[in-house]
Structure 1
Amino acid sequence: MKPLHQPIFLAIMMVLAAPLSFADASLQNWYNDPFIQVRSNIPTCPMPLGPMSTKEEAQQESHWRLERGTSCWLQGLCSKPNSYAYDAGIAKSVAAHFANDPRFSRSSLWITVQRRFVWVEGCADDTTVTADVLDAFVRAEPDVERVIVNVKQIGDEHVPYAVMPKP
């Protein structure tokens, strides 16, 4: 093969090989929903799946997200035209709140924020870290509409949330 054709050949091979390497339908945060680890003191705690999905799942969810995002404003329940517009601010505020509260120091917790709903998922090595305590803690933040808590206590066999697949 002539030297001039070698770069073209390599470029063509890379383009042809690219779809093969992504054929496993990799997971991504397609809508950039806030997904933040707010505590990290239990290294064996499984990481939640959070807002990660395949491209196909994201496409199937797109109409529903559009409808849910605008219905808040149309019903007069939001001052912003889309309920997802609150998420980044809520996530920042909730994360700062967790960082400054010692009650959750024996936990590994993640938050996912979507359309003013906050999911708290992870593990706790402290029986005082209950769903009610976490719900009240997060609900105290402005603009939070709903809190969903799925936390595994150390010693429990069952993980109450979808987990990130191992690489």
Structure 2
Amino acid sequence: MRNWYNDPFFALSSDAPACPTPLGPLMTQAEADDDAHYRVERGTTCWLAHKCSKPNSYLYDAGIASAIRQRMQGDARFKGASVWITVQRRFVYAEGCVPSGFDSAALERALQAIPDVEQVFVRLMSNPRGTPPYRTLAR
């Protein structure tokens, strides 16, 4: 398992030690080979539709990840939470564990406000012993 395409994947916080780590962009070589054509097709669609100035939507991901880190890492709202971010093709995935009462909608709005983000998926749970709403390293 490895991050074959170097998609941004990082923890915004790690205050919930029992939280299952998301799988993020990790995959086997066979999965990466199988995904290669699909990634090229998805990546160029944005440019061909004149919705992106860059020729591939994956080229935005490093800048999006940098902006998320700059704006949110160390943010007090993540106290008691373990939240990982994956950025792929201008899509942002926030996955992990948060205390009950955490404002997931506010997090989604904050991520959506990052320049060049196309879509945001928030997959958080308040019980780290429950079934995660995301794929984990344990698969």
What per-residue deviation string (whole Å, max 9, x for no partner) do you get for residues 5-50 of structure 1? xxxxxxxxxxxxxxxxxxxxxx110000000111111111110000
Correspondence list, 1:103-142, <5 A: 103-130=77-104, 132-142=105-115
**1:157 equivalent among 105, 121, 130:** 130
Q: 1:54 to 1:163 in 2, by over 3 A?
A: same
1:72 corresponds to 2:46: yes
Provide the residue aligned with 1:12 in structure 2: none
Cα distance in structure 2, aligned partners of 1:102 and 1:60: 40
Cα distance in structure 1, aligned partners of 2:14 and 2:113: 22
Max radius of gyration: which structure?
Answer: 1
Question: Sequence identity, in percent?
Answer: 47
Provide the residue aligned with 2:119 in structure 1: 146
Q: 1:70 to 1:106 in 2, by over 3 A?
A: same
1:42 corresponds to 2:16: yes
Letter in 2 for 1:88: A
Cα distance in structure 1, aligned partners of 2:96 and 2:47: 32
Provide the residue aligned with 1:58 in structure 2: 32
What SS is found at the alignment partner of 2:124?
strand
Paired residues of 1:47 and 1:163 also in contact (CA < 8 A): yes
TM-score where L is the length of structure 2: 0.94
Q: CA deviation at 1:101?
A: 2.5
For structure 2, which runs of at least 5 residues remain unmatched after alignment? none
Which stretch shows the higher mean deviation, 132-141 or 78-87? 132-141
**1:99 equivalent among 73, 85, 88:** 73
What SS is found at the alignment partner of 1:150?
strand
TM-score where L is the length of structure 1: 0.79
Q: CA deviation at 1:100?
A: 4.7
Correspondence list, 1:15-34, <5 A: 27-34=1-8
Pick 1 or 2: higher relative contact order, CA cutoff 8 A, min separation 6: 2
